[in-house]
Amino acid sequence: MTKFYNVNVKSWDVIVIGGGIIGLSLAIELRKSNAKVLVVERGEPGCEASFAAGGMLVDCSAETLPALQPLAIASARMYPEFAHELQVESGISVDLRDHGAIIFPPPEHVYERPGFSPNTLLPAPLNELEPALDAGDRPAFYLKERSVDPRALSSAALHAAKRREVDISSGDEVTAVKTDKGHAVGTVTRKTSFLASKVVNCAGAWSGQIAPYAFPTRPVKGQMLCLLSPRRNLLQHVIRSPEVYLIPRSDGRIVVGTTVEEAGFDKRTQVETIQRLHRAAIALVPELKNAKILEDWAGLRPATPDALPILGETDTPGYYIATGHFRDGILLAPITAQAMAQVMEGRNCAYDLGPFSPARFS
Ligand SMILES: Cc1cc2nc3c(=O)[nH]c(=O)nc-3n(C[C@H](O)[C@H](O)[C@H](O)COP(=O)(O)OP(=O)(O)OC[C@H]3O[C@@H](n4cnc5c(N)ncnc54)[C@H](O)[C@@H]3O)c2cc1C
């Protein structure tokens, strides 16, 4: 006798692997076209690199690679709307600040570096712009750029995603992308499996650990600390020098960064490193010696061999990747979400994603 079971297997249009700012922003963008989206997160969403970041939105620095410039500029332009939308949908302020940055470049590069042309000279004397700075007679430049609070941003993105009915699975790690006749059909996790006709790998520094492909992503550690300023408006601008950078938040916190270390997946902080950053902050802004240290932490930037992100469809139809944003993932979240949604929905993408193709590592 044949028995018929009514097996109602749940499936989604898209599975997003990883609930960092890249995965969450893309999930929200895909929902706008009504796709059924599931985010599968190993731990808690928004608690890795996207939690550790400083939140500078640097679209025009000496370090931005030329291939990345168009995306960086476009993403910086999208930020006010991106942040506004997340704030409205989540009710969480992401502290988008628009005071610009004061840069103390290394002496040998003062006039040569792209991004430091004469029109970036200070709009007013330094001691008027930032009276608390003690920079001697070091040359300084001004860049028009914004900053955001990445923790608030990730939290707002998570709330907005849930509000848009993105499904979230937390605490279960994806081990493999499942295929059938060469096409992606879902993901295998430690505890279960999920079905979808499209899968996108947004697993940050861990993107290379998901079978079948070993994408060459690696973690690059950054240590940071956070001070509670003795006065709320002690600093207005982001300050960047070769020794340290300072990112003021509107509630009086000042984030101090950072290191760039090849240390594998080790996320511990070192007392000497945190003390060195703290001393460098006090040397630039002496009043910070009265600031309380609120916390220190380390995070893992998702890096690639050529320091460019990996964006696009893999060799397996239906399996996409959006990762490797290294030092710019907070900045690049809006443009990544928009461009990847266009690619995944088969629409024309307004940007040339050729330089970021996963095929360059095939
Ligand atoms: C110290 C520091 C300072 C930074 N400062 C800035 C800055 O000022 N401006 C800027 O633009 N960028 C900055 N960045 C870079 C930025 O934080 C990253 O580029 C960005 O957060 C990457 O986002 P993501 O979503 O790809 O990665 P993550 O935020 O790391 O998210 C990846 C997620 O995938 C999950 N995951 C991993 N493997 C699996 C799996 N197998 N299954 C399920 N889930 C998985 C992880 O748990 C994680 O939640 C900084 C980074 C650091 C560390």
1, part of any domain: no
**How many domains does one find in the chain?**
2
281, part of any domain: yes
pLDDT recorded at residue 122: 86
Note whether 71 and 161 are same-domain residues.
Answer: yes
Enclosing domain of residue 47: 11-92+150-217+305-361
pTM for the model stands at 0.96
Residue bearing the CA closest to ligand 1, atom 4? 53
Residues with beta carbon inside 6 Å of ligand 1?
17-23, 40-43, 47-50, 52-56, 173-174, 202-206, 210, 222, 224, 257-258, 299-302, 323, 325-331
Note whether 88 and 236 are same-domain residues.
Answer: no
pLDDT recorded at residue 4: 47
Note whether 156 and 136 are same-domain residues.
Answer: no
Domain boundary among 285, 303, 321: 303
3, part of any domain: no
pLDDT recorded at residue 232: 87
Note whether 317 and 335 are same-domain residues.
Answer: yes
Note whether 297 and 161 are same-domain residues.
Answer: no
pLDDT recorded at residue 318: 98
Note whether 156 and 297 are same-domain residues.
Answer: no
| pLDDT tens track, the chain, 362 positions | 444 444 557 899 999 999 999 999 999 999 999 999 999 999 999 999 999 999 999 987 767 899 999 999 999 999 999 999 999 999 999 999 999 999 998 876 655 555 556 556 788 889 999 999 998 888 888 999 999 999 999 999 999 999 999 999 999 999 999 999 999 999 999 999 999 999 999 999 999 999 999 999 999 999 999 999 989 899 999 999 999 999 999 999 999 999 999 999 999 999 999 999 999 999 999 999 999 999 999 999 999 999 999 999 999 999 999 999 999 999 999 999 999 999 999 999 999 999 999 999 98
Distance 16 CA to ligand 1 centre (A): 14
Note whether 292 and 311 are same-domain residues.
Answer: no
Note whether 57 and 166 are same-domain residues.
Answer: yes
Residue bearing the CA closest to ligand 1, atom 37? 203
Note whether 286 and 318 are same-domain residues.
Answer: no
Note whether 234 and 313 are same-domain residues.
Answer: no
6, part of any domain: no
| CATH code of the domain in which 176 resides | 3.50.50.60
pLDDT recorded at residue 6: 46
Neighbours of 305 (CB within 10 A): 11
Domain boundary among 303, 319, 345: 303
35, part of any domain: yes
Note whether 156 and 69 are same-domain residues.
Answer: yes
Note whether 290 and 160 are same-domain residues.
Answer: no
pLDDT recorded at residue 299: 98
